[in-house]
C-alpha cells in the first residue's frame, strides 16, 4: 500500500470551488489507477473565510496546511470584498499563507499544446515545441527592500532598495538546477549583471554552484535579452531561474505564449518537497457560478504536485497526456474555443479528462 499523502484542499472563492472539484476527481482517479492514497482535508480561505470566520486566513486553515504534504488552492477574491480594509481582503490572506508556509519560490510552467497554437498571438512556427518553466524568487529583492521618500532640492525623491543575501540566492538557484535535472537539463539564469550588484552576486553564486550539477548546461541571460528571446525562440528555453521582479514580469510574458490563462498551473515551494499548487488565474467573478470555467489549470496543478512534491512522475504523465488527448479530440471550454457555440462546461471537461486517464 502506498504511503498516505495529506493534501489540504482550499477551494476559495468565485470559480475556485468549481475547478477544484474537477481536480479532486483527478486525484481520485489516480488512486484507482496507481493505488495511491490521498487524505484530503478542506479549509476555508479568502472571501468565504472572511464571511464565515472574520479573517481571510483562519488559524485552523493554516494549521491544516502545515500538517499537509501539499496544498491545492483554487482562487480567492471578488468584488464583494474589494472595498474591505487591507486586513480583511482575500489577497492579504494570499501573502500571509505564503509567508507562514515559508514559500520562497514560484514555479510556472508554460507549455504550448500543439492543438492550441492558434490561440496565441505569436506565430505557430515560433511556438512549436515550447515547454518551459519559470522559477521566480518570491521573498526578496526590490519588492521587499526598504522603501521611503525624502525631500531634496529637486523635489520629492522615492527610494526602493533591492537586497539579496547569498543564502537567498543559493536556495533558489539550487532549486533551478534540481528542476532542470528532472527535465531537459538546461538552465537559463536571468540577471542584469552588467549594471546591478545584486545580479553580480546572483551570477557568482550560479557559477560557484554549477560544478555540482555537471549534467546541467547553464546559460546566463540578461533580463532584457531574455524578454526578447522568449518571443523569438521560446522553445529553446527549458528552466529559467531568476529574482523576484524579473520573474514577475517574465512569468507573465511566458504565460502569454500559451494563449489562455485557464491552462496555466503553478507551484510555490519552500524548503524540501512541500508545495502549494494553484492555477495562475484568479477567481474570475465574471463567470463564477455558470459552470463554464476551464478546470485544466487546476488539473495540471495536480500533475505538478505529483512531479515536484510526491515524485509520482508516471501519474503526472498520465494526467498531462489525458489533457492533451482531450484537447486533440477537439473538446474546448469557452475560453479556448474558436467556435464558442460548441464549447463544453467545467464538469464535462473534468469528466472527459478523468475518463481519458489511463496507464
Q: Classify 102 in phi/psi space as left (phi over 0), alpha (psi -120 to 50) or beta.
A: left
Binding-site member from 9, 72, 75, 304 for ligand NAD (CB under 6 A): 75
C-alpha cell at 111: 507549455
Sorted by sequence, the CB contacts under 8 Å of residue 136 that are 6+ apart come out as 105, 106, 107, 108, 242, 243, 244, 246, 247, 248, 250, 251
Binding-site member from 78, 176, 234, 350 for ligand NAD (CB under 6 A): 78
**Does the annotation mark 25 as catalytic?**
no
**Does the annotation mark 143 as catalytic?**
yes
Binding-site member from 8, 76, 101, 254 for ligand NAD (CB under 6 A): 76
Q: Is residue 345 a known part of a binding site?
A: no
Q: How far apart are CA 91 and CA 78, in angstroms?
A: 10
Between 94 and 113, how does the x/- string for binding to ligand NAD read (CB under 6 A)?
A: x-------------------
DSSP 248-260: HHHHHHHHHHHS-
The one catalytic residue in 63, 118, 252, 328 is 252
Closer to ligand NAD by CB, 294 or 301: give it: 294
**Does the annotation mark 252 as catalytic?**
yes
Residue 282 is a binding residue for ligand NAD (CB under 6 A)? yes
User: In this structure, which long-range contacts are made by residues 230-234, counting pairs with CB atoms below 8 Å and at least 24 apart in sequence?
Assistant: 230/254, 230/257, 231/122, 231/126, 232/126, 233/126, 234/110, 234/112, 234/122, 234/126, 234/127, 234/130, 234/132
Binding-site member from 77, 93, 141, 259 for ligand NAD (CB under 6 A): 77
CB of 285 to ligand NAD, least distance (A): 6
**Does the annotation mark 224 as catalytic?**
yes
- Which residues are bridge partners to 162 per DSSP? none
Residue 262 is a binding residue for ligand NAD (CB under 6 A)? yes
Residue 216 is a binding residue for ligand NAD (CB under 6 A)? no
Q: How far apart are CA 149 and CA 39, in angstroms?
A: 50
Q: Is residue 90 a known part of a binding site?
A: yes
Contact, 104 vs 168, CB < 8 A? yes
Total residues at interface with ligand NAD (CB under 6 A): 22
C-alpha cell at 92: 492579504
- Which residues are bridge partners to 72 per DSSP? 9, 277
The one catalytic residue in 51, 63, 224, 328 is 224
Q: Is residue 123 a known part of a binding site?
A: no
Known binding-site positions = 78-91, 98, 108, 136, 224, 248, 252, 282-294
Q: Give residues in contact with ligand NAD (CB under 6 A).
A: 15, 19, 75-78, 91, 94, 261-262, 278, 281-287, 293-294, 297, 335
Kindly list the catalytic residues: 143, 192, 224, 248, 252
Known binding-site positions for NAD(+) = 78-91, 282-294
Amino acid at each position: 500500500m502506498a504511503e498516505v499523502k495529506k493534501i489540504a484542499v482550499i477551494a476559495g472563492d468565485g470559480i475556485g470551488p468549481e475547478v477544484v472539484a474537477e481536480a479532486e476527481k483527478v486525484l481520485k482517479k489516480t488512486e484507482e489507477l496507481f493505488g495511491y492514497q490521498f487524505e484530503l482535508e478542506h479549509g476555508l480561505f479568502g472571501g468565504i473565510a472572511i464571511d464565515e470566520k472574520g479573517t481571510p486566513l483562519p488559524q485552523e486553515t493554516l494549521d491544516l496546511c502545515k500538517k499537509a504534504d501539499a496544498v491545492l488552492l483554487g482562487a480567492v477574491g471578488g468584488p464583494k470584498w474589494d472595498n474591505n480594509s487591507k486586513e480583511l481582503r482575500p489577497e492579504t490572506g494570499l501573502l500571509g499563507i505564503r509567508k507562514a508556509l515559508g514559500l520562497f519560490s514560484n514555479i510556472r510552467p508554460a507549455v504550448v499544446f500543439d492543438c492550441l497554437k492558434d490561440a496565441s498571438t505569436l506565430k505557430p512556427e515560433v511556438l512549436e515545441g515550447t515547454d518551459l518553466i519559470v522559477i521566480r524568487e518570491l521573498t526578496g529583492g526590490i519588492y521587499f527592500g526598504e522603501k521611503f521618500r525624502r525631500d531634496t532640492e529637486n523635489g520629492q525623491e522615492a527610494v526602493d532598495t533591492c537586497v539579496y543575501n547569498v543564502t537567498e540566492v543559493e536556495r533558489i538557484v539550487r532549486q533551478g538546477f534540481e528542476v532542470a535535472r528532472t527535465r531537459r537539463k538546461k538552465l537559463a539564469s536571468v540577471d542584469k549583471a552588467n549594471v546591478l550588484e545584486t545580479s553580480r552576486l546572483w551570477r557568482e553564486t550560479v557559477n560557484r554552484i554549477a560544478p555540482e550539477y555537471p549534467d546541467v548546461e547553464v546559460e546566463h541571460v540578461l533580463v532584457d535579452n531574455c524578454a526578447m528571446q522568449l518571443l523569438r525562440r521560446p522553445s529553446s528555453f527549458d528552466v529559467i531561474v531568476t529574482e523576484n521582479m524579473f520573474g514577475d514580469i517574465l512569468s507573465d510574458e511566458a504565460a502569454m505564449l500559451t494563449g489562455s490563462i485557464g491552462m496555466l498551473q503553478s507551484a510555490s515551494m519552500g524548503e524540501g518537497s512541500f508545495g502549494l499548487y494553484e492555477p495562475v488565474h484568479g477567481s474570475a467573478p465574471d463567470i463564477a457560478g455558470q459552470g463554464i470555467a476551464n478546470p485544466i489549470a487546476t488539473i495540471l496543478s495536480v500533475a505538478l504536485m505529483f512531479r515536484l512534491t510526491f515524485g509520482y512522475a508516471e501519474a503526472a504523465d498520465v494526467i498531462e497526456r489525458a489533457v492533451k488527448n482531450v484537447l486533440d479530440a477537439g473538446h474546448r471550454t469557452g475560453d479556448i474555443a474558436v467556435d464558442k457555440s460548441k464549447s463544453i462546461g467545467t464538469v464535462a471537461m473534468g469528466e472527459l479528462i478523468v475518463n481519458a486517464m489511463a496507464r
